[in-house]
Amino acid sequence: MELRLDGKVAIVTGAGGGFGVAYSRALAEAGACVVLSDIDLDAATQAAKNLEDEGFECMAVATDVGDEQSAATMAATAVERFGGIDILVNNAALMSEIPFGQPLGEIPIDFWEKVMRINLTGSLICIQAVLPAMKQRGSGKIINQTSGGAFGPAGVYGVSKLGLVSLTVSMARELAPSKINVNAIAPGFVSTDAGKRSTGEELAQALPQMVPLKGFGETDDVVGALLYLASSASDWVTGQTLNVDGGWVMRI
């Protein structure tokens, strides 16, 4: 089955770097028109230009996913430019900004709330922003970027990402009557700039013993899961979190 997205309109948050760039390219190469959304407009604009120079239909938009009006503007811009919204990839998150190994017993509450606002609440804000357009289309695909760190002790980051797993399940149940699929991807250790900065040296050295296939993956190792969940191939799949991590997290 070919994972094509011709005629679809996709929004990728956090599209200015790392996974966001890789996801945007994969969606564009599969035929979708892509809105690259990021709080760093310059980064999103450059990423969009790189794709436009290759003939893909893309645009950049500045978005603070923790701000409801900003997310609403993102959705409205996508509808105005491309006529609707079919796919939302909730990729924006704080990760490398979180001090490695920060004890929860000592974390400042305002920083805790900031992480939750972006990593968890921000995904809900963006879902709410795109729902009217998806419901008008009669279907939609929402893909939340969680993490393998959600399933073990990983501080505030892990807590926020486990919350996103729960949000995925709840929204999948709620939106099923509207033919909107909600799933999540939980990558393992991936060699993006943010991923490398967030992995302590001791943990990085231990990865070959922890991960059956290989320690660090690449963004290209994850885009297949994205295309599956964004395409019609996954029409009978919802509420699921797909671990793409070389076998780091194995669940029965």
Active site residues per annotation:
157
Instruction: Show the 3-state SS of 196-252.
Output: HHHCCHHHHHHHHHHCCCCCCECHHHCHHHHHHHHCHHHCCCCCCEEEECCCCCCCC
Q: Which residues contact 36 (CB under 8 A, 6 or more apart)?
A: 12, 15, 16, 20, 24, 44, 47, 48, 51, 58, 59, 60, 61
The length of the chain is 252
Question: Could you tell me the sign of the dihedral formed by the alpha carbons of 20, 26, 28, 30, in that order?
Answer: negative
Q: How many other β-carbons are positioned within 10 Å of the β-carbon of residue 104?
A: 11
